[in-house]
A and B are shown apart, each in its own frame.
Chain A
Amino acid sequence: MDLTVGPNAFFWPAETVRAFYAALADAPVARVVIGEWVCSKRLPFWQDEIPVAVDTLLGADKEVALSSLALITLRRERKLAADLVRVGLPVEINDLSALIHLEEGTPFWVGPMVNVYNEGTLRWLAARGATRVCLPPELPLTSVRVLAETGQGLGVAIEVWGHGRAPLAISGRCYHARLHGRAKDSCQFVCGDDPDGREVETMEGQPFLRVNGVQTLGHHTQTALPQLADLRAAGVSSLRISPQISDFPAICAHYDRALKGGSTAPPDLAGMDWANGFLAGRPGVDWAVTQN
């Protein structure tokens, strides 16, 4: 089992992105997916960092793939997806429409925003050329087991959401802009003010969700560590670690130690609330399993 770093969900300044991927070159992760995943409006502000990061990461012997957007609606966004497959690096599709640009049989990866819930869909994707699939975060372990076994038969590596706030929803509407009394088209990029998303609490003050532009995340950080032995036994090949603004090198190191037999408790980090309910077949927000 190894670690895959997923695409960054948040809108960070270009220099932050550069420092983040430079540090990742030294992290104990096998591969990195990079690209704008959430909102195409952000891309011009940091796209020049992508080739820099790709060179840095390839130079550090990481596998690197480019991510498509998770919701493609505009002509400009469709063109971005078409351009992506011509770069020559593996592409991780997070919206099925990106597939239309890939010649049948071209290998590709599938991200957690594509609905792979069952063997039939996994077989169809494998026949089209999928070699690596990160399963949707809401799937329970019972489904993961079946899909990991099917994946092994098909030669498709199966990844599970290992660490990070779960991507729960994506919309045509920007909630960050809405919180500032603006529409998506006049957002003034306010999501950039919140490098870890904007907190949403219940009216009773319970931390609950995070707004990240057009995306909604869970407030609680999902961790698969307590279920690591089950995932390994199921034949899951990688854990996906989702970028966050603070402590990321330490987080990667902690998960790497866990894979090598170290503690499967979540990393000891200030200010983080943990959850693992989805894998346990419970509400995702629950802390359902402490160890196995």
Chain B
Amino acid sequence: MELVCPAGTPAALRAALEAGADAVYCGFADETNARNFPGLNFSRPELAAAIDLAHARGKKVLVAINTFPRAGAEPMWHRAIADAARFGADAIILADPGLLAHAADRHPDQRLHLSVQAAAANADAINLYAREFGVRRVVLPRVLSVEEIAAITPEISVETEAFVFGGLCVMAEGRCSLSSYATGQSPNMNGVCSPASHVAYDSAGGQQSARLGGYLIHQRPQGATMPYPTLCKGCFTSRGETGHIFEDPVSLDASRLVPALARAGVTALKIEGRQRSRAYVAEVVRAFRAVVAAIGSDTPPPAAALARLAEGQAATTGAYAKTWR
């Protein structure tokens, strides 16, 4: 199985390649990609050099241009596609139908992947994107169970890529406005979710709190681990019950399900985390290299390294295990 790894910086890209990535995905330093964080992502010359470096090692670079262009500002996204294609990107990862139509029309030889942000959650959707735009691979939404993935792959002719580690959206990706409801900025429009610019931490009376857009998302005793205030993993109250109504502050770890995903026909495994350090990226990639090597063998993969890296020290297999629902 192909191991697709995140790179928010040229240093993380080198680290991922050295740790055993088959492909690295990254984006330009602007709102054309869904990890539009300050200090992250690639300039034009950096991306061109990164692609050359990866190709010299026989590895691939996938360029994410996976936000939904702002009405009236499409040329910025069109330029990003043209530049990625010109630099030799092995694939461009897109979500917006208008952009897919543009890329298929203007860059017919460019390999296109369908971003998870397109939320193609069934075989009909995937076949539609394949038929209309010639996409060659779909990144599967994290609302699907392994059984559902196994049912989808025989019905489609394109490759599938499944997230196996890192941040976890519990809502259908690319179809969530929770962040813009509280902050005015959303993954679809701005490439950010629960942006740091709208986060505030304070402490009083032995309690520390984390707010997003002024709304209290977490409150914990002083000294306890404080998760980042992502809305869908916040602590709320409903009719006297207080808790994580949508999801606990956990991250995805599907390493144990990799053999099942392989049997389900998944082509590539994706690690989330373009916002992470190169040390983190290197460690996760090495761990997953071992997980992939262990497929079909009697040796179980080492689990401890991944457990340590999971956000908030707690991990879930998410929707892949049907009981999550």
Contacts and interface: CB of A to CB of B under 8 A. Distances in A.
B48 interface: no
A48 to B, nearest CB: 26
Contact of A100 (B124, B172, B183, B245): B124
A99 interface: yes
A75 B124 contact: no
B98 A202 contact: no
Interface string B70-99: 111110000000000000000000011111
Interface in A217-271: 218
A119 B96 CA distance: 11
B215 interface: yes
A121 B236 contact: no
B43 to A, nearest CB: 25
Contacts of B175: 70-71, 113, 115, 169-170
Contact of A203 (B69, B101, B237): B237
A183 B181 contact: no
A120 B99 contact: yes
B74 A120 contact: yes
A277 to B, nearest CB: 7
A184 B255 CA distance: 24
Interface in B196-241: 213, 215-217, 219, 232, 235-239, 241
A166 B181 contact: yes
Given A73-B144, A99-B128, A216-B171, A117 B96 contact: yes
Interface in A55-100: 70-75, 77-78, 81, 95-100
B245 A120 contact: no
A194 to B, nearest CB: 10
Interface stretch (B115-123, B286-294, B304-312): B115-123
A199 B238 CA distance: 6
A169 B172 contact: yes
Interface residues on B, range: 35 or more
B125 A72 contact: yes
- Interface class of chain B by DSSP: mixed
A121 B98 contact: yes
B147 to A, nearest CB: 11
B279 interface: no
A121 to B, nearest CB: 4
A286 B213 CA distance: 11
Interface string A16-52: 0000000000000000000000000000000000000
Contacts of A117: 68-71, 96, 98, 188-189
B317 to A, nearest CB: 13
Interface in A175-202: 175, 177-179, 183-185, 198-202
Contact of B180 (A144, A173, A183, A284): A284
23 contacts: A73-B143, A97-B121, A98-B124, A100-B124, A101-B124, A115-B175, A118-B71, A119-B71, A119-B98, A120-B96, A120-B99, A125-B97, A147-B71, A166-B177, A178-B246, A183-B323, A184-B325, A202-B236, A203-B237, A203-B242, A216-B178, A283-B182, A284-B177
Interface of B: 68-74, 95-99, 101-102, 119-125, 127-128, 131-132, 143-145, 148, 151, 170-172, 174-178, 180-184, 186, 188-189, 213, 215-217, 219, 232, 235-239, 241-242, 245-247, 319, 322-325
